[in-house]
Amino acid sequence: MFEILEQMKHPNDIKKIDPADYRKLAKEIRRFLIGNISKTGGHLASNLGVVELTMALHLSLDLPEDKIVWDVGHQAYTHKILTGRKEGFKTLRKYEGMSGFPKKSESDCDCFNTGHSSTSISAALGLAKARDIQKKDDTIVAVIGDGALSGGMAFEALNNAARMKSNLIIVLNDNNMSISENVGGMSNYLGKIRTDQKYQGLKDNVEHTLRKVPKVGDAIVERVKRSKDSIKRLVIPGMLFEDMGITYLGPIDGHNIAQMMTAFNNAKKKKGAVLVHVITKKGYGYKPAEDQPSKFHGIDPFDVKTGDVIKKSSTESYTQVFSDTLVRLGKENEKIVAVTAAMPTGTGLVKFQENYPDRFFDVGIAEEHAVTFAAGLADGGLKPFVAIYSTFLQRAYDQIIHDVCIGNYPVVFAIDRAGIVGNDGETHQGIFDLSYLMSIPNLAVIAPKNKCEFAAMLEFCAEYDKPIAIRYPRGAAYEEYDEFQTPIINGKCEILHMEEDILILSVGSMLKIADEVRDELKRKGLRVSIVNVRFVKPFDFETLDWLLENHSTVVTMEENVASGGFGQMIGSYLAQNQEDVTMIPIALPDNFLEHGDPDLLRKKVGFTKENISEIILKKREEA
C-alpha cells in the first residue's frame, strides 16, 4: 500500500530512494496523512501543503546535525514521518502518544519545541549564534508561514538576523493562509511577488548578464549593488528583505522538489541570512481541504470521501453562544466592535464579521497590537470585544496592563479555551489566565457557570464601563442549573445550595464537578453548600464573611494552576483574618499539562468526584 513510505524508518532514509520516486513518495505521504488524520483528528490542510517542501529540506540537509525550527509546528507531520515516527500516528495527539507539534523529548530531529506563532526565526538565530561561538558548521533552518511572518516577533528577529550576519536559512512557506485568510500589508506585499511572474529569477538573470560584460562586468555589478539604485530596486521594486540586508531567493514552486533543492543548496553557500520564498497550496492534493482550508486546519475525525466530520456534538458550544450573543448585542449597540488576532473562525467572530463588516477587525497574528488597538478604539468612544484564546492572550500581557488597565478603558477580553484544552498539549492549555490577570488593578475577571449565564454575562460586559475579562472553556456549554438565573451584579456571587459545614466556592466551569462532589459528600452524611463565584475579581468577600459563620471548611475549585490563582487569594484572605476554618484549594498542579483528551487529563490531575471528596474528608480529619 505504501511501497516507498515503508522505507522511511530512520532520518535521512529519503536520500536512499531513486529521485524518480519522489513524486510517488509525496502521494503516499498525503494518502497516509489523510487516512490517519481522518481517524484521529489533527492538523491536515497545513501538512498537506508542505509535503514536497519537507521532502526537499530533508534531501538537502543532514538531520539531526542540521536543524529545522518549525514555526508553530503543527505542519511538521511529514517531518515526523521522514524521521521514523510513522507508527506514532496511531496515537497522534492522544495521552502519552505522539505530539502534534515538534518535541525534543520525542526525537533528536526536533531541535526546538514550538506551538505558538512567529517564534522560529528568533529560535533559529539563537541556534545559529550558538553554533558560531562553538565553531561548528551545521545548517540552521527556520520554516515560517506568511501568516506567522506578520507577527511582530518575526520582524524583530529578521532585523536582528540581518545585523548579526550568522548563516541562517529562513524558508517562507507562502500559502496566503494562516488559520484563516491572511490580512495586512505583508500579505499584500507577498501577494504582489507571488502573482507577478516577471519577478521570478529576474534579479539573478540581470546580474548574470552584467557579469558577462568583458573586463568590467564584475565591477559594474558590485557598484550597482552598493548604489541606492541597485539591481533589486531596478527590477524588484520594494524588495523588503534585501533592503533589510537579507538575501532573497524566490519565489519558488513549493511543490517542485528539484527547484527547492536547488534553492536550498544555493542558500547554504551564501553568507548571512537568506530567505527562500516558497509558494505552496494549503490542503494540496485533497480537494475538500483545498476548497476549505480553514475547516481542515484542525479537524476532528472525518469521512475521507466527503470531508464531513463524523461526530458532531448536538450541544451548543461556548464559542457558538459567544458568536450568537455578540451578533445580537451588536444589533442593539452600534458602538460594539470585535477584534481578533487571525482567528475569526476559532473565536466565533465570523457571524459578527458577516453582519457588521465595518465593525470587525482581524489584525493578523499580532496579539500585542490587537490589545492596544482595542484600547484606542475604547478611547475613541467604542466598545471593543477582543476575542482571543487564553494561551495567546499571554503574549499581550504588557499591553493589558500598560495600554488598557492603567487607562481604565472599557475593553472586554473574551477569553476562549480557558482551562484544560486537551489535544494540542502544553503550548495551548489555558491554565494560567486567572493567575496572570487577577493581579492587575482595574480589571474585573468573571467566569460563567453555564450556557445561560454566559449570555447574561456578555450582556453585563457590554454595559460595564471598565476593563473586564470573561473566561470560558472549549467545547459544549454546560446546560444544568438553568433554574438559577439571578441577575448579574457587579462583584457579587451566587448561592446555589445553602446548607452548613462545607462550603464549595466554584469558579466557572468547575460547577459540574462541584455538584458531583456535593452529591458524593451528601451520601456520606455531610452538609454542603455551593457558591457560584461569578466574579473572581472583585470577589464577594462580604458574602463569604457571612457564610463563614456557618461553615468550618472552605473548598475552592478552579481549572487554573494553583500558583497565583483564586484558591491562593481566598487562602490568603482567611489567614489574614485569622478565620478558624479548614481551607482546601482544588486547582491544577504547578507543571505543564501534556496533550490528551481533556476528560482524561482531568482524571489524571485528580479532578474527579472520588478524588476531591477523599481530599476533603482527609483534610477535615487532619484539622
Query: What CATH number labels 494-622?
Result: 3.40.50.920
Q: How many residues does the chain have?
A: 623
pLDDT in tens, 138-166: 999 999 999 899 899 999 999 999 999 99
Q: Give the start-to-end residue ranges of the domains of the chain.
A: 5-291, 318-471, 494-622
CA distances 472 to 63, 188, 254, 450, 586, Å, are 42, 35, 39, 9, 18
Domains 5-291 and 494-622 share a fold: yes
Strand 247-253 relative to strand 501-506, pairing = unpaired
Q: Give DSSP secondary structure letters for 211-236.
A: HTSTTTHHHHHHHHHHSTT-HHHHHS
- State how far the Cα of 472 lies from the Cα of 319, in Å rounded to an integer: 9
What are the phi and psi torsion angles at 152 (to 5°)? -60, -35
What are the phi and psi torsion angles at 264 (to 5°)? -65, -40
- Residue 121, classified by CB atoms within 10 Å of its CB into exposed (0-12), middle (13-18) or buried (19+), is buried
Query: What CATH number labels 5-291?
Result: 3.40.50.970
State the Cα angle at 112 between 108 and 114, rounded to 5°: 130
Cβ–Cβ under 8 Å, residues 46 and 284: no
Cell of residue 449, nine digits: 457557570
Which of 428, 425, 439 is CA-nearest to residue 397? Answer: 439
Q: State residue 191's pLDDT score.
A: 54
Region for residue 165 given its phi and psi (left: phi exceeds 0; alpha: psi -120 to 50; beta: otherwise): left
pLDDT in tens, 120-145: 999 999 999 999 999 999 999 999 99
Which of 443, 506, 446 is CA-nearest to residue 480? Answer: 506
Query: pTM value?
Result: 0.88
Active site residues: 282, 367, 395
Region for residue 580 given its phi and psi (left: phi exceeds 0; alpha: psi -120 to 50; beta: otherwise): beta
The per-residue b/e assignment along 266-292, b for 16 or more CB within 10 angstroms, e otherwise, is ebeeeeebbbbbbbbbbbbbbebbbee
Which residues, given as ranges, of the chain have pLDDT below 70? Answer: 177-210, 213-217, 219-238
Q: State residue 206's pLDDT score.
A: 55
Cell of residue 588, nine digits: 491544577
Query: What CATH number labels 318-471?
Result: 3.40.50.970
- State how far the Cα of 410 lies from the Cα of 538, in Å rounded to an integer: 16
- State how far the Cα of 275 lies from the Cα of 142, in Å rounded to an integer: 9
pLDDT in tens, 396-416: 999 999 999 999 999 999 999
Q: Where are the alpha helices (DSSP H) in 134-252?
A: 152-164, 185-195, 202-211, 217-226, 231-235, 240-244
Q: State residue 243's pLDDT score.
A: 86
Q: State residue 177's pLDDT score.
A: 58
